[in-house]
Amino acid sequence: GRRGGRHDQGGAIFSASVLESLMSTVQTSLLLAEVYKGNDNIPAALTTLAKARDIQTRILARLKVASHPDLYRQQRQVAAKLAFTVASYFHHIRELEKASQYYNEALRHDESHEKALLALARLALGAGRQEQCEEKCEALLRINPANEEALLMLADLKLQKKEYDDATARFKNLLERRPNHYSALQKLILLLWRAGRLDESSHFLRLAESTSASTCLHAGLHFCKGLLARFKYEPQTALEEFNRARKDPEWGERAVMQMIRIYLSNDLDQEWDESGQKEVIDNTEALRACQALLRELDRPNKKPEVVVLECYAQMSTGAKGDIENAQRRLVELLNADREYIPAMLAMAHSHMLMKQTPKARNMLKPISKMPPNPLFVEEFERAYLMLADIYIGSKKFDLAQELCEKCVAQNKSCGRAWESLGLVFEKEQSYRDAAEHYETAWRLQNETSPSIGFKLAFNYLKAQRYIDAITVCHKVLAQYPQYPRMKKEILDRARQCIRVATDDQR
């Protein structure tokens, strides 16, 4: 009997030493895989990890029968780490199915593995599986309610589903805890703008300013202040704020892109008339500033969105050669990704400049049928509006109205959509309805757009709201004393109509 006992004891000792050696092999393999990955040798890294996974399976099998609950739990976490590492390498080389399979394996070993849940949420979002993404974010926030990326992702999803209150509530909670979380503040401003509640963002900007430790404000805060000013149609203030964030490593590139968009706004937010013409504006100064900023973003492997902005700057000269050059560059982008929305939209813009309206319409119609992508919200909006302009030009008012309403549903603060709806009603001679829609557009653009002011006053005149027409004329003429046709065609006529009405009453 004693010999049997010694054998059992020896067996246990043998198992323990073998076990330790196996565990140490797994740890070494993890380090070796990192080295391979650092040298861009992903196949070798994956082979090393595959062997380590086999060893880890044997370790877990031994520990399960040996009934070592603590060690077993700890080694399951090692197994989760192994599976997660394999998944991240597959993710890196864009083998997404395999990545997903191994992230799920990591969760089977450790259901509270935050990084695996987050990676699966990202994969689901990228593949358009929004329900699945939401589910993973919710699971992650149950484990860690302060996980910021999951919060941001979930709020974006709520935003797409037009669940504004839920989305804003999540950001507000995060910002009450951490007022200086500028990426959340940026999202909240964007969110409140689309919900038509931009005023609510001032409170959070004040909160961030008051808790900013240094007298010199953070670039992220300047960026957020610039964004708010841009949405309030205060371009000068916006440019000053973005300029203060321009040299920052984290916020600089974003700030420069926003500045370029402001300088190009006459081109990007252009309203096209029936013949595909656009209002001619002297943009020499803006173009010069824009080109200087684009040079700051000029580097090898340029981001496609930078190339698109360069194309708009090139096209804004209006020269046929420049437009054709831009078209060639856009074709290259579309060859790489047929459904790259910013390039499709810029291509439609180039066709409008070349007075090729049918070509532009054919470029825009597919965009209007796609599900909106949260990355390109502004581009989708501009595509709907350009197509609506084309439909108004061909008197297809019902189709134009449908697109403008789609735009407003996505962004209640979209002044251009309200303006186009006003135009639809004006063309149908419903002057009261037209005035109501122009009124919203005028208010959203801070009562600073002379062309909307003119249209509003004209429709007030037609709807026999003479006093309102005179009030708007005064507001426009105070800012633009020489604004053409305003005094003669509207102000004088409205006064004349009031005089006639008064004389009739006498």
Residue 44: predicted pLDDT = 77
3-state secondary structure of 272: strand
Residue 478 identity? A
Give the percent of the chain with pLDDT over 70.
93
The DSSP output letter for 278 is: B
Q: pLDDT band for 5, please (50, 70, 90 cuts).
A: very low
The number of angstroms, rounded, from the C-alpha of 323 to the middle of its chain's C-alpha atoms is 27
Which residue in the block uniquely carries the two structure tokens 């579309």? 334
Fill in the DSSP letter of residue 200: G
Evaluated on CA atoms 281, 284, 285, 291, the torsion sign reads positive
163 contact partners, CB below 8 Å, separation of at least 6 = none
Contacts of 490 (CB under 8 A, 6+ apart): 454, 457, 458, 461, 469, 473
* pLDDT at 414 (0 to 100): 93
DSSP SS3 for 319: coil
Q: Rounded to whole angstroms, how far apart are CA atoms 429 and 440? A: 18
Q: Which residue has the tokens 């200087």?
A: 292
Q: How much is the pLDDT for 213?
A: 67
Compute the half-sphere exposure of residue 379: CA atoms within 13 Å on the CB side of its CA.
23
What percentage of residues in the chain have a pLDDT greater than 90? 49
Count of other CB atoms within 10 angstroms of residue 220: 22
Please state, as a whole number, how many other Cβ atoms lie within 10 Å of the Cβ of residue 440.
22
User: Other C-beta atoms within 10 Å of 114: how many?
Assistant: 15
On the question of pLDDT at 144 being above 70, the answer is yes
Structure tokens at 293: 């900023």
In 3D space, the residue among 438, 494, 435 whose CA is nearest the CA of residue 467 turns out to be 494
The closest of 124, 176, 177 to 154, measured between CA atoms, is: 124
Q: Which two tokens stand for residue 26?
A: 């797994």
Q: What is the mean pLDDT of the chain?
A: 86
Instruction: Give the tens place of pLDDT for each residue, 314-357.
Output: 999 989 999 999 999 999 999 988 889 999 999 999 999 999 99
Answer whether residue 492 shows pLDDT above 90. Answer: yes
Question: Mutual orientation of helices 284-296 and 304-315 as an angle, nearest 10°?
Answer: 160
pLDDT of 33 reads 77
Q: Is the pLDDT of residue 426 over 80?
A: yes
Q: What is the pLDDT of residues 188-207, one digit of tens each?
A: 898 899 888 999 999 999 98
Query: Nearest CA to 195 among 384, 408, 406?
Result: 408
Judge whether residue 481 has pLDDT over 60: yes
In the structure, what pLDDT confidence band is assigned to residue 3 with cuts at 50, 70 and 90?
A: very low
User: Residue 14 pLDDT > 70, yes or no?
Assistant: no
CA dihedral 37, 39, 43, 49 (to 10 degrees): -40
Confidence of residue 262 (pLDDT cuts 50, 70, 90): very high
Residue 278: beta bridge partners?
272
- The pair of three-digit structure tokens given for residue 135, joined into one six-digit string: 């589910």
What's the CA dihedral at 480, 482, 486, 488 to 10 degrees? Answer: 150
Quick: pLDDT tens for 97-122: 888 988 998 888 888 888 999 999 98
With b for 16 or more beta-carbon neighbours within 10 A and e for fewer, the 44-64 pattern comes to ebbebbeebbebbeebeebbe
- Find the helix or strand (DSSP H, E) in which 157 lies: helix 148-160
Neighbours of 170 (CB within 10 A): 21
- Classified as helix, coil or strand, 432 is helix
Residues 387 and 365: beta-carbon distance below 8 Å: yes
DSSP 8-state class, residue 375: G
pLDDT over 90 (residue 35): no
Residues 6+ apart with CB under 8 A from 189: 198, 201, 224, 227, 228, 231
Q: What is the pLDDT of residue 474?
A: 95
CA-CA distance, 332 to 126, in Å (whole number)?
23
The predicted model gives 61-78 an average pLDDT of: 75
Task: Locate 498 and state its tokens.
Answer: 């009031």
**Digit-coded pLDDT (tens) for 372-398:** 777 788 999 999 999 999 999 999 999
The token pair at 66 is: 């040996």
Q: In 3D, which of 337, 342, 346 has the Cα closest to residue 267?
A: 346
Residue 418 neighbours by CB distance under 10 Å: 25
Q: Strand pairing partners for 272?
A: 278
- Number of neighbours of residue 82 by Cβ within 10 angstroms: 25
Q: In the structure, what pLDDT confidence band is assigned to residue 278 with cuts at 50, 70 and 90?
A: low
